Amino acid sequence: MKILLAIDSSSASQVAVQEVIDRPWPPGTTVEVVSVVDTYCGWNGPEVFDALMDAGRQAVESHAAVLITSGLTSRSKVLCGDPKTIVVDYASETGADLLIVGSHDASDLTRFLLGSVARAVVRHAACSVEVVRPRSGNGGMKIMIASDGSEFSENAVRVAASRPWPPNSEFRIVSVAELPAMWFAKPYPAFLDSKAMENLRAQAMQRAEKAVAAAERILADAGFAESATEAVPYASAPEVILSQAEEWSADLIVAGSHGHRGVRHLLLGSTAEQLALHATCSVEIVRARN
């Protein structure tokens, strides 16, 4: 497994490094620690740019050394450019399986005006992405898997089931029977009567229950037992998943990405992105490698 760990000088990056150290990983896993010096800083003079490069090298080399001491194979590299694009491009060039970043949890206004590396990699990276937030302790983890029954969700469950996890880790599966909001409004759309609406709701609930059962089988086949599962009727998927993760004190949410891009993504966003940006715990967005 190839992990790309993107850091900066913030405490959020320290949390991400520690999380990599505390988690078990598959045999043969390598971790490349990278930091990006924004080329904008070079406009202030070569002395400033050179100082930032030196600081970046010291940081990544120091973190890589700590990872090596913890038993992981690690190397380091300093990149130059816009962090929001360079990190994504480098992950693609190096064939990373998982890109890990810390969450700065900036305000909504800051995210809207300036963007963030975490938001950029969640939206644009071709590989899986984990946005790391602090968790209490380094023992067993509470892992919530969100599934809508799609092939993308099933892939996410399989990825989670294939990984080693700390002893005494727990799993919870959540699937939401989601329908377009307009179908819940009364009066119902003219082409739907109340009986048709009930049929649509029943079908949505069946899909959610089927998604839960499929995820349970995948975890059971891998030797994991889930502590709880739930198919939630007729609600907004991101809101339900975030609420249940917080109520359960989850350490990690795992969700598959449908890979929506362009105008559709801009207008609608995605459940995966909303989870990654608004959860109070870490979130891994799983993408299948091409």
Reference 131, options 227, 32, 25, 252; nearest CA is 252
**pLDDT per residue over 201-245, tens digit each?**
777 788 888 888 889 899 999 998 766 676 666 667 888 899 999
Structure tokens at 225: 């037992």
The whole-model pTM stands at: 0.86
Q: Where in the chain is the domain with CATH 3.40.50.620?
A: 1-134, 136-290
Structure tokens at 182: 């307009």
Percent of all residues in the chain with a pLDDT value above 90, rounded to a whole number: 47
- pLDDT at residue 106, rounded to an integer: 52
**pLDDT per residue over 166-203, tens digit each?**
999 999 999 887 665 544 455 555 555 667 667 777 77
Confirm if 96 and 1 have CB atoms less than 8 A apart: no
Confirm if 1 and 29 have CB atoms less than 8 A apart: yes
- The CATH number, out of the four listed (2.40.10.220, 3.40.50.150, 3.30.70.560, 3.40.50.620), of the domain defined by the range 136-290: 3.40.50.620
Average confidence (pLDDT) per 10 residues, the chain, 290 residues: 92 91 96 88 68 90 96 95 90 96 61 58 91 86 91 93 93 79 50 68 80 90 78 74 93 84 44 87 86
Confirm if 173 and 229 have CB atoms less than 8 A apart: yes
d(CA 137, CA 179): 38
Q: Which fold has domain 1-134?
A: Rossmann fold (3.40.50)
- pLDDT at residue 114, rounded to an integer: 36
